[in-house]
Chains A and B, each alone.
Chain A
Amino acid sequence: MLEPLFGSINRERVLLFLYSRDEGYAREIARFYKTDLSQIQKQLERLEIGNIIYSKIIGKTRVYSLNPRYPFLIELQSLLEKVLTFYPLDELEKLTHSRKRPRRKGKPL
């Protein structure tokens, strides 16, 4: 939806994913959108250089989030929120309803 503005569908996807889930890593985002990992990595790198997102290492994984220090964060979030209202409901649910509660190691379900 914002591809003409952002210049890339994958950049839009990355931003929407991080906005909806608070954080994410490259493989997770690529898997969610069934797209090429390297394309997602490229957009993550560009957005990080632009200070729009930031990353931290957790274990062996680089996890990204929207940068709370980005001066246009509130405006960007408003824009992304608006985009989500145009998302098909089933897609929206998949994006926003991921399991966040803990899962004990070894639990069968």
Chain B
Amino acid sequence: MSLGELAAYVCTHLHENDIHCVLTGGACVSIYTENRYESFDLDFIENMASKRKDIMNALSQIGFYEENRYFKHKDSKYFIEFPKGPLAVGQEPVREPNVIKFNTGQLILLSPTDSVKDRLAAYYHWDDKQCLDQAIMLAENHTIDIDEIQRWSEQEGKLSEFNFIKEKLLHKK
């Protein structure tokens, strides 16, 4: 099972158990770049927090077990984490996640534009250059709303940083 197929399978199963969550982080980049960037962790953020026990019960039904706050499966190299919400990119809530259908189920994840913001938040605030590379990679593969990213960057107090990388996001060397 690919990362996307597994994420869709897990997301659908959790949804059926009344646990509503959205895939975020590097796994979204992996899916949008068709694995040019490879992630092994699936970070799901819940819309409304559930009890840990409910998540554990739902995931154990499909063979996952918990180890150090991560959920693992003996047949998979991928692992699942539930970072604490709320679902946000920087200081703003995520209002319109994307939905992708796989043969294993339906995956709810950050849109390409929000995923770029998510990676840029790590670059802006933690100076993580790998995340900038991921944002650029994603922007090469998908249409993103550059004006919206500019507005958001300004809101984050990072307009000058955005202006510095804007050309890269537009694939201009």
Seen from chain A, the residues whose Cβ lies within 8 Å of a Cβ on chain B are: 49-51, 54, 68-69, 71, 73-74
Contact = CB atoms under 8 A, between A and B. Distances in A.
B91 A74 contact: yes
Contact of B86 (A49, A54, A71, A74): A71
A73 B84 CA distance: 14
Contacts of A49: 69, 84
Contact of A51 (B84, B91, B122): B84
Interface residues of B, number: 13
Given A49-B69, A54-B126, A71 B90 contact: yes
8 contacts: A49-B84, A51-B83, A69-B90, A71-B88, A71-B90, A71-B91, A73-B91, A74-B91
Contacts of A68: 125-126
Contacts of B121: 69
Interface string B83-120: 11010101111000000000000000000000000000
Nearest to B88: A71
> Ordered nearest first, which 5 A-B pairs have the shortest CB separation?
A68-B125, A71-B88, A50-B84, A51-B84, A69-B121
